[in-house]
C-alpha cells in the first residue's frame, strides 16, 4: 500500500496530466523531480487496476534515441509505437544536421568530446557517437589533432575537422615527467615538500621506541 508521500506525488502527476499529455522528462521538469522517480511512479500507476495513467502516444527523439512515450490519465488502450517512413526520415535529417554542426564547430576550433557536447548541448556519450561516426566514415571528416590531460590526468583527444592522420599518444617517460615537474616552480615546490614529508615519516619509523629499547625488545 502506498504511503502518504507516494500518494501525494502521484496526485501531483495526475494533476499535471489533466488535459495534457506529457513525457516523463516533461513531468520531471514541471514537478521538479528526477526522471527516474517519475518513471517509478508511472510504472506503478500503469500497473494499478484500473490503470491510473496510460501511454497515449510517442515523441521521437531528434537526436536519434528511442521514442519517448507520452502519458495521459485514465485506463484506456495504450498507443503502440510504429516507426513510420516520415518519422525515420525526420530522424535521419536531424542526425545529418547535427553532423554538419559538429564539422562546422571543429573547423572553427578543435575541441575535446566534452567541450563539443557542451557546445551542442548534448550528452558526452552522444557527442562521442557523432565524432566516431565522422571518423569512421568512408570519407573521414574528423581526426585527432592532439592530446591534452583532462581532470583525471588521463589524455583526452582533441578533435578537428579534416581527413588527416590521427595524432598518436606517446606516454611520457618518468624522466620527462620529472623534468617537466621541476621546470614549474609551483610543482617543484610541491614535489620537494612531498619528498621531505616522506623522509620525515620514513626516518621516524626507524627510531626505536624508548621503552622497548630499554627492555631490549
Q: Where does the pLDDT of residue 207 fall: very low under 50, low under 70, confident under 90, or very high at 90 and above?
A: low
Q: List 155's β-bridge partners, or say none.
A: 149
Domain 85-161: top CATH class: mainly alpha
pLDDT tens digit sequence for 42-88? 999 999 888 999 998 888 765 556 778 899 998 888 888 766 555 55
pLDDT of 25 higher than 60: yes
Query: β-pairing, 155-161 with 22-23?
Result: unpaired
Close Cβ partners of 170 (under 8 Å, ≥ 6 residues apart): none
**Within this chain, domains 4-73 and 85-161 share the same CATH topology:** yes
Close Cβ partners of 161 (under 8 Å, ≥ 6 residues apart): 103, 104, 106, 107, 141, 142
Close Cβ partners of 89 (under 8 Å, ≥ 6 residues apart): none
Please, are residues 102 and 129 in contact by the beta-carbon 8 Å criterion? Answer: no
- The model scores a pTM over 0.75: no
pLDDT tens digit sequence for 156-187? 899 999 999 998 887 777 777 777 777 878 87
pLDDT of 5 higher than 90: no
Domain 4-73, CATH among 1.10.10.10, 3.60.15.10, 1.25.40.10, 3.10.20.600: 1.10.10.10
Boundaries of every domain in the chain: 4-73, 85-161, 174-214
Q: List 148's β-bridge partners, or say none.
A: 156
Give the pLDDT score at 106. Answer: 93
What average pLDDT is seen over the chain? 82
Containing 197, the helix (H) or strand (E) segment is helix 185-206
Mean pLDDT to the nearest integer, 126-131: 90
**How far is it, in rounded angstroms, from Cα 34 to Cα 36?**
5
Give the pLDDT score at 209. Answer: 57
Give the pLDDT score at 68. Answer: 84
Amino acid at each position: 500500500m502506498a504511503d502518504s508521500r507516494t500518494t501525494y506525488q502521484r496526485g501531483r502527476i495526475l494533476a499535471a496530466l489533466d488535459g495534457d499529455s506529457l513525457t516523463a522528462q516533461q513531468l520531471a521538469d514541471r514537478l521538479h523531480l528526477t526522471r527516474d522517480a517519475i518513471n517509478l511512479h508511472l510504472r506503478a500507476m500503469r500497473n494499478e487496476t484500473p490503470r491510473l495513467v496510460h501511454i497515449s502516444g510517442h515523441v521521437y527523439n531528434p537526436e536519434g534515441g528511442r521514442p519517448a512515450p507520452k502519458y495521459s490519465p485514465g485506463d484506456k488502450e495504450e498507443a503502440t509505437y510504429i516507426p513510420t517512413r516520415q518519422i525515420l526520415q525526420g530522424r535521419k535529417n536531424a542526425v545529418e544536421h547535427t553532423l554538419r554542426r559538429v564539422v562546422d564547430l571543429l573547423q572553427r576550433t578543435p575541441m575535446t568530446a566534452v567541450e563539443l557536447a557542451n557546445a551542442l548541448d548534448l550528452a558526452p556519450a552522444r557527442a562521442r557517437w557523432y565524432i566516431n561516426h565522422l571518423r569512421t566514415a568512408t570519407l573521414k571528416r574528423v581526426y585527432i589533432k592532439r592530446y591534452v590531460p583532462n581532470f583525471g590526468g588521463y589524455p583526452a583527444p582533441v578533435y578537428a575537422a579534416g581527413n588527416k592522420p590521427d595524432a598518436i599518444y606517446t606516454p611520457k617517460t618518468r624522466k620527462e615527467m620529472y623534468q617537466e615537474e621541476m621546470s614549474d616552480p609551483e610543482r617543484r615546490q610541491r614535489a620537494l615538500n612531498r619528498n621531505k614529508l616522506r623522509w620525515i615519516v620514513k626516518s621516524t619509523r626507524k627510531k626505536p621506541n624508548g621503552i622497548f629499547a630499554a627492555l631490549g625488545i
